[in-house]
Amino acid sequence: MGVLTNTDALRSGIADRSVHVVDARTADEYRAGHIPTALNLSVSSIVAEQNAGTAARLAGSLGISNNGPLVVIYDGYFGTAAALVAWRLEHAGYQNVSLLECSYANWLEQGLEYDYDVPDIMHVGYSVKTNPSMVATIRDVELANSSTILVDSRRRLDFLAMHIPGAVSIPYRALSSPSSVLRGKDELLHLFANRGIGVESNVITYDNDSGTLSALAYYALKHVGVDGVRLYLASFADWRRQKMPVETQQNATYGDLAA
Amino acid sequence: MSNSLAVYSLPSVGNQRSKNLTGGLQWDQYRITQQSRSHQDIFIGYKGYFRVMCPHPLQQSTFRWADVRDVDDFADKVKRYRAGTYPPDAFVKYRIHNGGYVTRLTSDYSMLRVKVPAGRISPEQLRRFSLLSEQYSIGSAHITARENVQLHWVVLEDVPDILRSLAEVDLTSRESCGDTVHNVVCSPTAGVCPDEVFDPTPYAEATSRFFLRNTMTQNIPRKFKITYDCCENHGRARTADVGLVPQIRTVNGQARRGFKFFAGGGLGAKSCIARQIEDFTDEDNVIYTLIAVLKVYDRLGDRKSRHKNRLRYLVEQMGWEKFRNLILKERTAVRITQAARVNLDLEDMPAAVRRPVRISAEEVVEPGYSKWVQTSTFVQKQPEYRTVFVTLEAGDISSRQLSDLADIIEEYSGESTARLGLIQNVVLRYVHQDDLVSLYSRLLKANLARTGALTMAATLGCVGMSSCNLALTNSHRMAKEIQRQFLKRGLDEDKDLWGSSIKVSGCPNSCGQHVVATVGLYGGSGRNGRDMYPAYTMLIGGRTGADSTLGHKLANVPAKRVIPVILHLLDIFRERKQDGDNLESWIRRVCDGAEQTSVADLQDMVTPLISPPSRDDDPDFYTDYGTDIPYKIVIGRGCTK
Ligand code: HEM
Ligand code: SF4
């Protein structure tokens, strides 16, 4: 299964009821209009609890089971919220998860259909089969040797101010284009190659704390075939809390260049 | 067809043919529309062969500033440099030539300076900067004082990808830095200025096209800056290597276009106001005269000591008269041996001034509107139209603002395009006066409706310690702090301060043009016993325009005392000014010794404000803006060794 589902595939899936559509935005945003048949599983409800089972429990309560039809997830703008919901579901054992290639904003721009109906929900049971190979712990990050590349998904200014030693900077906005949550494979491969990342590489992604930005990076890497990618979910906030060493771009006031 | 560079060898150039070519420079005149502004045929015929920069000289081709071959080449060089197969020094020179400037104390990052010839920038290009600043830079872009757009803290390896994306919207960074002809600047009010005799923009663009990738200018002794002004007072012709001011002259009963032609100006160490080569250089002679200056400079300029090899040093060394005669003689030779033909896109007004229609329900006049109209807009020579100056903070504009601005330009500017200004700002022209209320509301929403764009409040500041290797102070933040204080205190409304300016550089190099400001500041340091603190040398009385003048040194002012000292100077002025004075005219008399108050008196008056407190009393005094680390001097290597 591919990382991305395109709009045509989603629309025919909706028509023949062969997909679950998941809206990762807030309940308010969802109520104000969403893709037809979409269920609302907001990223904030998932982030609220770090427990691996949370995503599965919430999905189960919406009638989405871990061995059911393809789950296609979208959010408002950048794909970061959708990516984290997807990642948490996959991590809890959902096999069949993908990201809608465009955001809801793009969807509306293209004049595609939307509605306000909340579909009838058939509660299903859930089971959790966590997938540990998707996660990196603080130990993994600490012990990462030179063959593992750390990707910092935060904005460039945050990276300059402070980052995990040895990390490379790929601001999450570099992963998407104005019309798609992930840029074309060639462009992404370039971006990664510029940081020494190839399909054989081992990569750990991180961001500030929630894992949204780094989940998008996780899927961007998967998308171009970098299978050895893991997500450091607790991210930089955890690294700081544990008083781990950091690297800073010194003697320059780059922050004052921001508008 | 793009501008594929073909070299035609014509072994037997017939006399007839070369006559045609050397018959003089022809400015082919086109009236063009936004969509089709594209013509380019530039060719220079040398004896025996000529280099043609389009498939066929007589066939119109589409000129593009950008060329993807530059991009591929850059990508290749970065790879070889990282692999150790391209010498680091050669690489630095190469990347700078292509606009990839060094960044403060690191070789991992680059600053990318993208030239915007004559400052004309389209909404599409602004949107591209919006995207790229977020994807590859710090989420904002920097608009410079010479109509460039800079992306800072870009990963060096990403530069080719950025260049490729820029090429799609026909932008190039080639020859925006380095030992070549930098961006050709044109006054942003060219075409709308009530005082101008004609619009120099097409000449600026043609000049830019002519020299870009021209073999003649790929390795001159040092950088070379050309500026076109609209009139005597708006612009910077006299502080450039070559500056041109439009003139009309009747020759044999015919009105001819031409320019006052200045050369040898420049800021930095040994700042210098340019002198006039001719009071009228006919338009037919402009390119030839430029070629002559560049050839003389190329041949005689000092290639040994980088610190003393701008054109002004050659002028100094030769003496003005000798230099001027040599240029004129060289021009004659150039005219005999070379034919240059440059197509001009002549348009005095946009082909069709669209007055964008919008459904406006009741328009709400937002607070601050009249102050904004008064201090940030300008009445054009075209009746009913205004030019709107969008002032930023030291030229920084966020990704979001860039895309908002693109929409706003499309909606409100009759020419659907914008100009970059000369003080790190953006200029919207052909705004219909009836649309100002609604435009103000739109700009407010985008946080782009600052007042005081045309006043002393709009402080200019080089990037300084935020990105530049040579910075001694955080001049960028200093400029922002001054502007904020001026706006907070409503000083932009003070008519006595109109016509004055504040400009800040982080070191003596003058990228912030401090020498030509009413109040100019350049970074340095001060010392109190063992403790160092950031400081600025303050100059007063500098100005641009017809009587461009360099400022006089006033005092070495600690960074944290700069604002109090400026405010104190304003108080002194208010006390002592005479009827009809403004700050500019008063300071001018002070500097000329034509006032009771002398520069030395002013020095005495500010002295009490600048003596350093002890570190214990005021630790903040010993740190620069934007940091809490006690001040120390840290600098890296200069631009090119
Ligand atoms: C030896 C090194 C350098 C010297 C001597 C130098 C000197 C100058 C001078 C004299 C100007 C012209 C001001 C004017 O007439 O408009 C200028 C412009 C400028 N310089 Fe530098 N500079 C140096 C290095 C740098 C560096 C390292 C940076 C930043 C990374 C920088 C950024 C700028 C900018 C932004 C401008 C405004 C002009 C434009 O838009 O092109 N300069 N520089
Ligand atoms: S004036 Fe000095 S500090 Fe400022 S950009 Fe130029 S070289 Fe750097």
C-alpha distances (whole Å) from B564 to each of A22, A64, B541, B586 are: 58, 66, 18, 20
Asked if the model's pLDDT at residue B50 lies above 80, the reply is: no
Residue B89 burial by CB count (10 A; 0-12/13-18/19+): exposed, middle or buried? exposed
In the prediction, which pLDDT does B5 show? 26
Question: What DSSP string runs through B565-595?
Answer: HHHHHHHHHHHH--TT--HHHHHHHHHHT-S
Nearest-ligand number for the alpha carbon of B465 = 2
Please report, as a single letter, which amino acid is at residue B387.
T
Range of the domain at A64: 4-130
SS3 for B226? strand
User: In this predicted structure, what is the pLDDT of residue B634?
Assistant: 93
Note the pLDDT tens digit of each residue in B239-294: 999 999 999 999 999 999 999 999 999 998 889 999 999 999 999 899 999 999 99
Count the domains in chain A. Answer: 2
Gyration radius of chain B over CA positions: 25
Fold exhibited by the domain B365-454? Sulfite Reductase Hemoprotein; domain 2 (3.90.480)
- Tell me, in angstroms, the distance from the centre of ligand 1 to residue B462's CA: 8
Residue B594 has pLDDT above 60, yes or no: yes
One domain for residues A163 and A254: yes
Q: Quick one: pLDDT band at residue A127, thresholds 50, 70, 90? A: confident
Q: List pLDDT tens digits, range B210-227.
A: 999 999 999 999 999 999
Quickly list H helices, B387-472: 399-412, 436-445
Inform me whether the pLDDT recorded for B536 exceeds 80.
Answer: yes
Asked if B397's CB is within 8 angstroms of A256's CB, the reply is: no
Q: Would you state the torsion angle of the CA atoms of residues A152, A153, A158, A159, taken in this order, to the nearest 10 degrees?
A: 30
The pLDDT value given to residue A210: 87
Q: What pLDDT is recorded for position B306? A: 87
> Is residue A183 located within the same domain as residue A101?
no
Q: How confident is the model at residue B17 (pLDDT cuts 50, 70, 90)?
A: very low
Mean pLDDT of B539-565: 97
Tell me the pLDDT band of B352, cut-offs 50, 70 and 90.
Answer: low
CATH code at position A35: 3.40.250.10
Residues B307 and A117: their CA atoms lie apart, in Å, by: 71
pLDDT at residue B48 in the model: 23
Return the residue of B nearest to A154 by Cα.
B138
- Say how many residues make up chain B: 641
- Predicted local distance difference test score (pLDDT) of residue B350: 58
Name the packing angle between helices B15-22 and B320-337 (round to 10°): 140
* Cβ-proximal residues to A173 (8 Å cutoff; 6+ apart), any chain: A78, A155, B134, B135, B139
For residue range B419-454, what is the model confidence (pLDDT) as tens digits?
999 999 999 999 999 999 999 999 999 999 999 999
B64 has pLDDT over 90: no
A114 and A147 co-located in one domain? no
| Minimum-distance ligand 2 atom for the alpha carbon of B522 | 1
pLDDT band, residue B609 (cuts 50/70/90): very high
**DSSP letters of A17-38?**
T-EEEEE-S-HHHHHT-BSTT-
> Domain B185-337 belongs to what topology?
Sulfite Reductase Hemoprotein; domain 1 (3.30.413)
**pLDDT-derived band at B310, boundaries 50, 70, 90:** very high
3-state secondary structure B149-168: EEEEEEEHHHHHHHHHHHHH
**Nearest-angstrom CA–CA distance, A157 and A144:** 24
Q: Based on the fold, state whether residues A63 and A142 are members of the same structural domain.
A: no
| Close Cβ partners of B94 (under 8 Å, ≥ 6 residues apart) | B77
pLDDT of residue B351: 52
Of the two residues B640 and B325, the one the predictor is more confident about is: B325
| CA–CA separation, B462 and B513 (whole Å) | 8
Say yes or no: do domains B68-168 and B185-337 share a fold.
Answer: no
Q: What is the pLDDT of residues B469-500, one digit of tens each?
A: 999 999 999 999 999 999 999 999 999 999 99
- Give the pLDDT score at B363: 80
The pair phi, psi for residue B221, each rounded to 5°, is -55, -40
Q: Are A146 and A119 within one domain? A: no
pLDDT in tens, A6-28: 999 999 999 999 999 999 999 99
**Binding site membership of B471 for ligand 2 (Cβ less than 6 Å):** yes
Last residue of a domain, one of A97, A130, A163: A130
Helices (H) and strands (E) in chain A, counts: 11, 9
What number is the average pLDDT over the span A71-90? 97
Half-sphere exposure of B268 (CA within 13 A, CB side): 17
End residue of a domain, out of A130, A147, A176: A130
Structure confidence at residue B35 as a pLDDT band (50, 70, 90): very low
Give helix A80-91 / helix A212-223 axis angle, nearest 10°.
80
In a mutational test of the pocket of ligand 2, which residue from B111, B306, B463, B634 has the highest number of ligand atoms less than 8 Å from its CB?
B463
Q: Which of A178, A194, A249 sits opposite B106 (nearest CB)?
A: A249
Does A173 lie in the same domain as A105?
no
Strands B460-461 and B185-186: unpaired
Atom of ligand 2 nearest to the CA of B463: 5
Cα B537–chain centre separation = 23
CA distance A205 to A83: 13
Q: What confidence tens digit (pLDDT) does each residue in A26-39 have?
A: 999 999 999 999 99
Of A130, A162, A180, the residue that ends a domain is A130
Distance from CA of A171 to the nearest CA of B (A): 7
3-state secondary structure of B341: strand
Which of A44-58, A131-145, B173-187 is the least confident region?
A44-58
Q: Which element (helix H / strand E) includes B295?
A: helix B283-300
Element (H, E) at A83: helix A80-91
CB B152 within 8 A of CB B190: no
User: Could you tell me the distance, in angstroms and rounded to a whole number, from the CA of residue B510 to the centre of ligand 1?
Assistant: 7
Q: What is the DSSP string of B187-225?
A: -TTTTT-TT-SS--HHHHHHHHHHHTT-GGGSS-SS-B-
φ, ψ of residue B152 in degrees (nearest 5): -105, 160
The partner residues of B143 in beta bridges, in order of sequence, read B149
pLDDT value of position B577: 96
Quickly state the pLDDT bin for B343 (edges 50, 70, 90). low
Whether A97 and A204 share a structural domain: no
Output the average pLDDT for chain B: 88
- State the average pLDDT over residues B390-400: 98
Query: What is the C-alpha R_g of chain A?
Result: 18
Domain boundary assignment for chain B? 68-168, 185-337, 365-454, 460-622
CB B263 within 8 A of CB B226: no
Q: Which of A50-59, A80-89, B443-452 has the lowest mean pLDDT?
A: A50-59
Q: How many CB atoms lie within 10 A of CB A127?
A: 12
Banded model confidence at residue B307, pLDDT cuts 50, 70, 90: confident
- What pLDDT sits at residue B337? 87
pLDDT at B26: 40
Probe residue for ligand 2, chosen from B467, B478, B511 as the CB with the greatest number of ligand atoms within 8 Å? B511
Nearest Cα residue to A206 out of A224, A171, A182, A233: A233
Q: Summarize pLDDT for A98-114 with one digit per residue, the tens.
A: 999 999 999 999 999 99
- Separation of CA B534 and ligand 2 centre (Å): 15
Q: What is the mean pLDDT of residues B335-352?
A: 67
Tell me how long chain A is. Answer: 259
| Ligand 1 nearest-atom number relative to CA B640 | 1
CB of B161 closer than 8 Å to CB of A187: yes
Which whole number is the average pLDDT over B349-367?
69
**Tell me: the pLDDT tens digits for B130-172?**
999 999 999 999 999 999 999 999 999 999 999 999 999 999 9
Sheet holding B254-263, edge to edge: B185-186, B226-228, B242-251, B254-263, B275-282
Q: Which chain B positions have a beta carbon within 8 Å of A190's beta carbon?
A: 161
Q: Which fold has domain B460-622?
A: Sulfite Reductase Hemoprotein; domain 1 (3.30.413)
Give pairs for B564-570: CB < 8 Å, separation 24+.
B564/B609, B565/B538, B565/B606, B565/B609, B565/B610, B566/B482, B566/B502, B566/B519, B567/B485, B568/B605, B568/B606, B568/B609, B569/B519, B569/B540, B569/B602, B569/B606, B570/B491, B570/B497
Q: In terms of domains, do A180 and A165 share one?
A: yes
Domain check: are A10 and A124 in the same one?
A: yes
Task: Read off φ and ψ for residue B155, nearest 5 degrees.
Answer: -65, 125
Ligand nearest to the CA of B105: 1
Residues A13 and A104 in one domain: yes
Stretch (H or E) spanning A158: helix A156-161
Mean model confidence pLDDT for chain A: 95
Eight-class DSSP state of B409: H
Average pLDDT rounded to a whole number, residues B355-366: 72
Q: Residue A216: which region, alpha, beta or left (left: phi > 0; alpha: psi -120 to 50)?
A: alpha
Q: Could you tell me the distance, in angstroms and rounded to a whole number, from the CA of residue B448 to the centre of ligand 1?
A: 26
Nearest CA to ligand 1 atom 19: B511
Q: Compute the distance between CA of residue A97 and CA of residue A17 in angstroms, rounded to an integer.
A: 16
Q: How far apart are CA B617 and CA A70, in angstroms?
A: 67
* Residue A119 shares a structural domain with residue A181: no
What backbone torsions phi and psi does residue A191 show, to the nearest 5 degrees?
Answer: -55, -45
A258 to chain B: closest CA residue: B140
pLDDT value of position B349: 53
Q: Which pLDDT does position B49 carry in this prediction?
A: 24
Indicate the fold that domain B68-168 takes in CATH: Sulfite Reductase Hemoprotein; domain 2 (3.90.480)
Q: Do A181 and A142 belong to one domain?
A: yes
Q: Which residues of B touch A173 (CB under 8 A)?
A: 134-135, 139
Angle at B46 between CA B40 and CA B52, to 5 degrees: 30
- B618-637 pLDDT per residue, tens: 999 999 999 999 999 999 87
Residue B23 has pLDDT above 50, yes or no: no
Asked whether residue A173 carries a pLDDT value surpassing 80, the answer given is: yes
Contact call for residues B5 and B55 (beta carbons, < 8 A): no
Q: Cβ(B135)–Cβ(A171) under 8 Å?
A: yes
Residue B27 has pLDDT above 50, yes or no: no
Least confident span in A187-191, B199-203, B354-358, B594-598 = B354-358
